[in-house]
Structures are given as structure tokens and as C-alpha cells.
Structure 1
Amino acid sequence: MESKDNQGYSPTGEDNVTYTNVNKNRESIQINGIDREVYKPPLPQPTISKNTILKNVFVLSFGFLCLFTAFQSLTNLQTSINSEEGVGEKALSVLYAALVVSCMFIPPPMIGLLGCKWTVVVSMFTYIIYLAGNFYPSMAVMIVVSIIVGLGAAPLWSAKCAYLTELGVWYARYTDGNEDAAINRFFGFFFMTFQTSQIWGNLISSLVLANPNSQNETGNGNHSECGVNVCPGMSFDSLMNPEKKQLYTMKGIYCGFGVLAAIIVAIFLDNIRLEKEKEGKRKFSIKLAKETVKHFLRSTEQKLLVPLTLYSGVEQAFILATFTNSYVNCTLGVWNVGFVMICFGVVDAFCSFTFGRLVQWFGHIPFFFLAAVTHGSIQIALLYWVPNPDHIVLFYVFSGLWGMGDAVIQTQINALYGFLFSDNTEAAFANYRLWESIGFIITFAYGNFICTDLKLYICLGFLLVGMLGYTAVEIFHRKQSVHSVDVTK
């Protein structure tokens, strides 16, 4: 995006201005046919070296890898191991409802008070509490720990996004490169590392929960009842549940990963201050909660991105709760959920890194189109596919292709928010987490009331409307760019 000076706004308040770069700090401009030289304030210099920037990107990514190796893999199993009375799905719905509240109130003042680094560390401890609460998965306990982690999730992700965006801006100044490309590259590396948590966490769950005496056992004896035919209240009679000892072992390992993540970030991540935070720290106020709403109301691009951001939550909730339970758990058994989701994680991680680098040459549009076609095709196929354990390769194909589409959705939406709203990243990313969380809430909320086929139709609907909104954003932004060029002529 162009600066105001390059968009034809005159620092002297006069019209008919033409700019010519002289050096980094001075510009030669033509005002009403008269050449004048004006001083251009230099951009603030980064407070850390280029190598330190790269180190911090790695440390932050590795910390999230450890944390979500535990958290994400445990949430993959909620609808399978905590299915009694719908505890797992209800707890997940409450979690994201708390996240919505957190998005509205907590991130700006918390980041202003603690800074990005310590906001991440403190928020990680809310995840550790959630992991520990799963040792006693009663409805009351799961609701409480879900609220806690929901409140901690918004500042965690907002701080992460603001931190990475700031590093991308600083790195671009060191290299005289494009800020959007640098931000894309950092988000691509982050999500490549982050998505491998699906590999390690699901590998742990599959190995720990595996029953060596039932290698040939599958989930539900009548496979025609699986897939789109799975409805609330159905039970998979032949499913062999893991023993409590196995579950406790798995949960203990996950708690260890959560603690390790907090330690890594606390020790090795540098504490930086966002440039706009240097004007002064903010105190908690109801006015701060309005920043998210104001950003939404004032930004046309933000309004248009809401459907696609909602879809980001809907599609993740579908693969985590519906696909794993209605297709994998029902047909193959709970111990195969992890193996199938490993494929999702591997493809997601590879594509996150690859697409993050390629976008600087091809732009966002081809990748969003790829995600729309991939996810749309899979959802249509799942409507007609009858899962069968004899066709086990198809479970991995669908999982991998979904991971490829998810890689685009996650990396490109994050990068797009950072690029479009670089002057107001906290409010923008709070909006991102808000609307994505609403997508999760909607999906988990109706999960206990409708069948799988209707869930797929809803997912397709969000995808279609979301892509229409994104297309409108591209058209709107291009018109703005053309208008800016015309102003300077």
C-alpha cells in the first residue's frame, strides 16, 4: 500500500503536486509548476538487528509449535473422547464464545500493558490450564477451563500477529524490500512451523491410544451409516474406547509441551515495542473495546472480509469435529484420527511455507481461487462418498487436500489483514479473531443438532459468500490504487 505522500497529498496543503525522489530523507516536488525541495522525515529505524529479527520469528514459531502440538491435537479428539452428553462439542463452542468476548475487550489493553512478548507468555498459561483440566473432563470442569483458554486466546493471537507484522516491516526496511512480501514470508514460515503441530500432536495421540490387540478393528460395523448419514445421538457400537491409563498418558505429555512452550518464549523471545505503542501505554477502558467495532464500521474492506473470515472458522471446525468423527472415527476408529490428521498437518505446513513465498510473485488472487476450488470440490465429494475402510487412502487424500486449502486460508487472510490494515493491526486482528471465532461457535453450536450432510451444505454456503466478499475487496482496493495514481498526475 502506498504512503500518503505518494498518493498525492501535499505536505504544504497545495494542489497539483508532483513528487520526485531525491534521497531517502528529501524529495523534490513540483507545486503549481514551481520546483521545491521538502524534507521527508525518515522512517524509524528497527531497534534490533536483521539476524535478531529472524531469530525472533523462529522462536515465536517454535513456541506456538510446542503449545499447539498439545492443544490442537487434544481439540481434534474432543468429539471422540468426550462425546458423552456432547461435552466435547459444547465445551468447544463455549471456548470460542469466550474468545469473542476476549477479542472485544482484552487484546489492546493487555498488549499495551505487557507488550507482545509477555502477552504471549501469560496467554500460554491459560492453554496449560485447559490442558490440565482435561484430566477430569466433566461438563462443569470443561466449561470453566474452556472459558479461561477462550479469554487467553485472543490476546495470544493478536500479540503474535502484531509482533510478526512489526518484524516484517522492520525486515523490509533493512532489505529495502516490499513490506507486504516480508510480512507474507514471515507469516508463511510461522504457519509452516505451526501446522506441523498436527504431525507431532496427532502422532502422539495415535501411538499412545493405539490398541495392539485390535489392529484390524474398525469403528462402526455398518459403514453405510458413516459420513453424511451421521446424526446427533448416533453411537458407534463396535468402537473400542482407549483405556483411562492411555488417556492420562497422552494428556500428561500434552501438558509438558504446553509448559515447554511458555518457557521457550519467556527466555528466548525479545521484548519489542510496537512503533505506535511508543506514544504511551494505554489503560483498560471501555473505549478500547470500541476500537474493534470502530475498525469494522469505518473500514469497507473489513466488512467485505467478514464472510471469508467466518469461513476460516467454519472450515477448521468442520475438519476438527465433523470429519474426524463422522468419517474417520466412525469408519476406522479413534486411534486412526491422529494418523489421518497427520496428513492434514504435513500438507498444510508445506503449503503454508510454499504459498507464503510464492505470493510475492503471483499475488493473493490465484491462491484464494485455489483454496475455493479445492475446498468446494472436497465438500461436494464428501456429500456423495460412502466411507469404507477398504479405501483407506481416500481418508488421507481428503485430509491432505483440505490441508492445502486451509494453508491458503490461514496464511493469506493473516497476511491480507496485515497488509490492508498495517496502521491499525491490533484492532484489525482482533476483528479477525472475532469473526473467525464466531465461525467456530456457529459450527460447534449446531453440531449437536444437525446431520453431517447439512453441515456440508452450510460450509459450502460460507465458502461461496466468503469468496464473493474477497473478490469485492480486490476490486475495491484496485479502484483505490487507480484513484491514488490519478490524483498524482
Structure 2
Amino acid sequence: MDVVNHYFGVFFLIYQSSGVWGNLISSLVFQQSTTKDVFGNESYSHCGTKNCPDFTASSNNANISTSVSSVSDNLRYTLMGIYTDQIDISEEQKNEGDGKISVWKSLLATFNQLRDIRQCLLIPLTMFSGFQQGFLSSDYTKAYVTCTLGIRFVGYVMICFGATNSICSMVFGKLSQYTGRIALFMLAALTSASCIIALLLWCPHPSQFAVFFIFPALWSMSDAICQTLLSAFYGVLFDDNKEAAFSNYRVWESLGFLTAFAYSNFLCVYVKLYIVLAIMILGMSLYLVVELLEYKKSLSRLENTATKAAKQVHLRVSSITSQSIELKL
């Protein structure tokens, strides 16, 4: 288990670092905008948890929308060109018939995996990983960063998230062999809950510049623990069916991410924070149930092993005793 945790720690160190370079490029591109973001004092009162869809559509949001509209079409087309170009690069030439069979087999195996109660219990925690990433990428950057500092700082905030996530993935992947899995998951839950409560109470203002980077750093620490240790837990828990298990992991994480983006333009920020908090509490609670089931199963295996060993000792002693009696006779 320690080796698996360390492996996923190294993997997510490399994987999450990609966000640093991507956001660095976008930040430098957006930085070229000559128009500065100028906000009236009344605008800040509608940032943070008070940012709602009706406000976004109202005239009170005119100052905030200026920061978005100030981005030139050339910048938009440049970024879209970079993103869409990756589609052609990633295309692979495959046999169409074999591809269809493989897809259907994978899909069937993924749904068959849901017959395992442990897999079903881990779904909320897996979705929470997607929910918290979706909230940070969609709502935090819009309602807190763009609303208060301007769009040109979004990339830098996400760089902070990606860099901290990479480092924490490596650190906690190694640290888990000393602390255990449950302790780190509880740390992740405590960190996420603290961030959510703080975001509910915080009224963002440009004078609190450093705070805008503290939240992504703490959020990334929680995300690093969840992704690294949960991936390792999947690998150990479903050792006999890893492909279907990791397919489920990605499906439910992506569904959480998709759901967070889907309701982004329909709910107020404070409602979204309560949703993330509820998913986290449910996910962590059911995760502990899985740990309890595994603990009972390990105790049962130990008892069976001890019983078999005791029987073997008893048979051996009986054999020696009978041989001694025969010799005496």
C-alpha cells in the first residue's frame, strides 16, 4: 500500500504540474491587455458569496463585465486555437471494429463494478473531488478573483493551485506510510470544511491580495490528498478488477466536475458552497464505512488464519502424543 501511495504521489506531481505551465501561458496572454480593470466600490459588495445569476444579468454588474469584455478577439482566438489543436494531436489511428468492441466491454465492466457495495459507497467521495475542482475553476475564479481583482489574475491563482497540488501530491503520497490513510483523509476534510466556511464569511476586497492565493493553496492540499490516496485506495481495494475500478473513478469524478459547471450559472455562490460541503460530509462518512468494512474483513481473515494455525498445532500435538503413548506401550 505504501508503494502504491508513493507511486500515485509521483504521478500526480507530474500530472498536476501541467496546470502550472498552461495557466502561465494564459496569464501572460491576458496580461497583454492594455485595458485595466477598474471597479466601483459598490461592485465589491456583490462579489464572493453574494454573487448570483440575477446580479450577473443586471446593470449593477456592468463594471465587472468590463474586465471580461476588455479581452480582445485576437487573444480569444489564440487561446481557442491552442486548445482545439490538441484534439488533432491526441488522435490515434485505431481499427474501428476493435474500438467499438473495446468501448462496449469497458462500459459493461464499468457498470458491473457497481455491484460491489464498496464501489457504491465511494461514489460520493469520488464526486467530491470533481465538485471541489469544478468550484475552484468555475466559481472561485469568477465570483472572487475576476469580480475583485480582474480576469488577468485568474491564471496566477490557478498556477498557485497547480503548483501546490503537485508538491502536496508528492509529500502526502510519501507521508501516508507514517500517518496512515484515514488521518490524511480527515485532514483533507478539515481543510476543505475550513475553506468553505471561510469563503462563506469572507467579503473579498483588492486590499486582501494575498488571501486570494491562500484559498487555492489550501484547497489544492485537500484535493492532492483526495486524488492521490483515493486513487491508491481504488488500486488496493479492487486489485482483481483495476481497469473497471479506475474507469468508475474517472466517470464519477468527471460527473462531479460536470455537475459543478452545469449549475454554475443558475445558483448563488453560497448555495454552491453548501452543496460542496454536503457532498464532502456524505463522501467522508461513507468512506469511513468502507474502511470499517475492510477492517472487519481483515479481522475475519486473521481469525481464520489463527484458527487454521491452531488446528494444525492441535493435530501436531495429538500426533506426537499418540506416538508417545504407542512407544510407552
Normalised-by-shorter TM-score class? 0.7 to 0.9
Match of 1:189 among 7, 10, 25: 10
Match of 1:345 among 155, 158, 162: 162
Tell me which amino acid in the other structure corresponds to 1:245. Answer: N
Counterpart position of 2:234: 417
Please tell me whether Structure 1 or Structure 2 has the larger radius of gyration of its CA atoms: 2
Structure 2: which 5+ residue stretches go unaligned? 94-98, 307-329
Per-residue deviation at 1:217? 3.8
- Partners in 2 of 1:291 and 1:361 — Cα distance? 35
| Alpha-carbon distance change, 475 to 451 in structure 1, aligned in 2, over 3 angstroms | same
Please say if residues 305 and 466 of structure 1, whose CA atoms lie closer than 8 Å, have aligned partners that are also in contact: yes
Q: Equivalent of 1:448, from 265, 269, 272?
A: 265
C-alpha displacement of 1:238: 3.7
Structure 1 position 475, deviation (Å): 1.0
Report whether the alignment pairs 1:457 with 2:274: yes
The answer (yes or no) to whether the contact 2:37–2:149 under 8 Å persists in 1 is no
2:75 is the counterpart of 1:246: yes
SS in 2 for 1:222: helix
Instruction: Write the mapping of 1:323-342 to structure 2, written as runs, cut at 5 A.
Output: 323-342=140-159
Structure 2 residue matching 1:449: 3-state secondary structure: coil
- Please give the alpha-carbon distance, in whole angstroms, between the structure 1 residues aligned to 2:167 and 2:88: 26
Q: 1:257 to 1:293 in 2, by over 3 A?
A: closer
Residue 379 of structure 1 contacts residue 456 of structure 1 at CA under 8 Å; is this kept in 2? yes
Q: Deviations over 1:64-83 (max 9, x none)?
A: xxxxxxxxxxxxxxxxxxxx
The verdict on how the C-alpha distance between 1:244 and 1:446 changes in structure 2, with shifts beyond 3 A counting, is same
Deviations 1:51-70 (A, max 9, x none): xxxxxxxxxxxxxxxxxxxx
* 3-state SS in 2 of match to 1:424: helix
Q: Percent identity?
A: 42
Aligned to 2:212: 395
SS in 1 for 2:34: helix
1:88-129 CA-to-partner distances (Å, cap 9, x unmatched) read xxxxxxxxxxxxxxxxxxxxxxxxxxxxxxxxxxxxxxxxxx
Shift of 1:476: 0.9
One-letter amino acid of the counterpart of residue 292, structure 2: I
Partners of 1:254 and 1:337 in 2: CA distance? 17
CA contact (8 A) 1:368 1:408 kept: yes
- The AA in structure 2 aligned to 1:290 is L
Q: Which has the higher contact order (CA 8 A, sep 6+)?
A: 2
Deviation string for 1:399-430 (max 9, x for gaps)?
A: 11111111111111111101111210111111
Map residues 295-334 of structure 1 onto 2, 5 A cutoff: 295-297=113-115, 299-334=116-151
Matches within 5 A, 1:66-81: none
Higher helix proportion, which one?
2
Amino acid at match of 2:169: S
Q: 2:53 aligns to what SS in structure 1?
A: coil
SS at match of 1:448: coil
Unmatched segments (≥5 aa) in structure 1 = 1-179, 267-280
The letter of the residue matching 2:34 is N
AA partner of residue 4 (structure 2) = I
Please list, as runs of the form range in 1=range in 2, the aligned pairs for 1:214-229 lying within 5 A after superposition.
214-215=35-36, 217=38, 222-229=43-50
Alpha carbons 1:417, 1:428 under 8 Å: kept: yes
Cα–Cα, structure 1 residues 388 and 294, in superposed 2: closer, same or farther, change >3 Å? same
After TM superposition, the structure 1 = structure 2 runs for residues 111-126 of structure 1, keeping only pairs within 5 Å, are none
Q: Secondary structure at the match of 1:450?
A: coil
Report Cα offsets for 1:432-478 as digits up to 9, x if no partner. Answer: 12222221232222222211010000110001011101111111111
The alpha-carbon distance between structure 1 residues 408 and 219, as it changes in their structure 2 partners (threshold 3 A), is farther
Residue number among 372, 387, 397 corresponding to 2:189 in the alignment: 372
Q: Tell me which amino acid in the other structure corresponds to 1:292.
A: T
Q: Deviations over 1:242-271 (max 9, x none)?
A: 1011222333445567777x59x99xxxxx
Q: Deviations over 1:300-338 (max 9, x none)?
A: 221211110111111111111111111111111111100
Question: Shift in Å at residue 237 of structure 1?
Answer: 3.9
Counting only pairs closer than 5 Å after superposition, residues 28-39 of structure 1 correspond to structure 2 as none
Contact 2:127-2:253 within 8 A present in 1 as well: yes
Q: TM-score, normalised by structure 1?
A: 0.56
Query: What's 1:141 paired with?
Result: none
Between the aligned partners of 1:225 and 1:216, the Cα distance in structure 2 is 16
SS of aligned partner of 1:447: coil
TM-aligned CA deviation for residue 182 of structure 1:
2.3
Moved more, 241-250 or 454-463: 241-250
Report the Cα distance in structure 2 between the residues aligned to 1:308 and 1:433, rounded to whole angstroms. 12
Q: Which amino acid aligns with 2:109?
A: E
- Asked if the contact 2:37–2:67 (Cα under 8 Å) also holds between the matched residues in 1, the reply is no
1:68 aligned residue: none
